[in-house]
Amino acid sequence: MSDVYPMVETLRWSGDWNGELVLLDQTRLPLEHVDHTCADLESVWEAIRSLRVRGAPAIGIAAAYGVCVGVQGIEDADEDGFFLRLDTVVKRLGASRPTAVNLFWALQRMQSCAEQMRGSGSTIQIRQALLEEARAIHADDRQMCRAIGTHGAELLSDGMGVLTHCNAGGLATSEYGTALAVFFTAQEQGKQLKVYVDETRPLLQGARLTAWELTQRGIDTTLICDSMAAQVMREERVQAVVTGADRIAANGDTANKIGTYGLALLAAAHQIPFYVAAPTNTFDLTLSSGDDIPIEERDAREITHGFGKQTAPSRVAVYNPAFDVTPASLIHGLITERGLIAPVNREAIANLIPGGADAR
């Protein structure tokens, strides 16, 4: 597909099966565009943990390439030694961030790929197959994001005001996004949108990343503080809310960036439809409801010392959950690459995704 607008290159693999993972360092955006190279397991773990690469699908893709990085440097290992190392790598990457299920989905897919070759190929052949699998995960994400954009854009009309939270754009995926794919596709169809962007405390993914992506593509963008969303809705400036997701339980309860639940409550109070855009590998059908989704808690200093400046007294207690769970009852529709799930309930999800994300 040809784009008149530049796409972001969130991450790429450089070289062959002995190569390295190169990320656009998202902690430096929007002012600096700096590549960050990960040539060993710990640097991939650190990049995910510190949000140099972030957003559920991008974390999954990074982890897949991270497996390829992690199994390097063990040329002398026999097959058992190789699989022991693979296990260590998968466990380490799986301990980087707990909420986005795409991370665990991708690691599982990589492990299955290697297991299928156990006993029938050299460790070099397994490593080649692992790189092919990571590339396939990357390529699949590109296609899924495009399809999400197409399905979601049908819900929006010319002249509409829409609100989004955090960053579910190209930077959070392979290149095109989930929630932002809906806006990008609408724009490509000639619909003019006015997009309001929550700055997204405490790490400002909305201000630093979403506002950057949208303005790059010439979309009418207005940045607001998170606390302004109610007033924006009251003034009837937005007619829909679209966000991404980090994990969706079997009943449709959805974990996403902290503040999403509050936004969904506000949208319901103002009778504004609230949509979640996500690929099917963000669904975790092993969890019956959102109560079981693990919520990451992050360092207090993200709140007390945001971007290097102390803004709170030194010994104050801090609670810093990175995500919250929006109940399915507040979500008008789940926009997936396979189509729209609406109304959102257990049966509708099971119908669209029978057997989970990998069953076609």
Residues designated catalytic = 246
Task: Tell me which residue of 325, 54, 32, 61 sits closest to 167, measured CA to CA.
Answer: 54
Q: Which is closer to ligand MRU, CB of 85 or CB of 201? A: 201
Q: Which is closer to ligand MRU, CB of 217 or CB of 257? A: 257
Report residue 229 CA to chain centroid gap: 22
Q: Name the residue whose CB lies closest to ligand MRU.
A: 244
What order of strands is seen across the sheet that includes strand 323-326?
283-284, 247-249, 254-257, 323-326
Q: Which is closer to ligand MRU, CB of 322 or CB of 328? A: 322
Residues 6+ apart with CB under 8 A from 132: none
Indicate whether 156 belongs to the interface with ligand MRU (CB under 6 A): no
Out of 20, 133, 141, 246, the only residue in the binding site for ligand MRU (CB under 6 A) is 246
* Amino acid making up residue 33: H
Query: 317 exposed, middle or buried (CB, 10 Å; 0-12, 13-18, 19+)?
Result: exposed
Query: What is the full DSSP assignment across 265-306?
Result: HHHHHTT--EEEE--GGGEETT-SSGGGS---B--THHHHSG
Binding span for ligand MRU by CB under 6 A among 5-13, 55-63, 221-229, 303-311: 55-63
Rg, the chain, Cα only: 20
Q: Report in angstroms how near the CB of residue 241 gets to ligand MRU at its nearest.
A: 12
Out of 322, 334, 341, 344, the only residue in the binding site for ligand MRU (CB under 6 A) is 322
**Which x/- pattern, by CB under 6 A, does the window 247-286 give for ligand MRU?**
---------xx-----------------------------
Out of 10, 20, 36, 57, the only residue in the binding site for ligand MRU (CB under 6 A) is 57
Please report, as residue ranges, which positions from 4 to 43 form the binding site for ligand MRU (by CB under 6 A): none
Indicate whether 245 belongs to the interface with ligand MRU (CB under 6 A): yes
- Binding residue count for ligand MRU, defined by CB under 6 A: 19
Indicate whether 166 belongs to the interface with ligand MRU (CB under 6 A): yes
Binding span for ligand MRU by CB under 6 A among 53-61, 130-138, 231-239, 338-346: 53-61
User: Under a CB-based contact definition with an 8 Å cutoff, are residues 195 and 164 in contact?
Assistant: yes
Query: What is the full DSSP assignment across 181-244?
Result: HHHHHHHHTT---EEEEE--TTTTHIIIIIHHHHHHTT-EEEEE-GGGHHHHHHTT--SEEEE-
Indicate whether 202 belongs to the interface with ligand MRU (CB under 6 A): no
Cis status of the peptide bond prior to 294, with omega within 30 of 0 = no
User: Under a CB-based contact definition with an 8 Å cutoff, are residues 278 and 198 in contact?
Assistant: no
Indicate whether 175 belongs to the interface with ligand MRU (CB under 6 A): no
Indicate whether 101 belongs to the interface with ligand MRU (CB under 6 A): no
Binding residues (CB under 6 A) for ligand MRU: these are 51, 54-57, 100, 166, 168, 172-173, 178, 205, 243-246, 256-257, 322
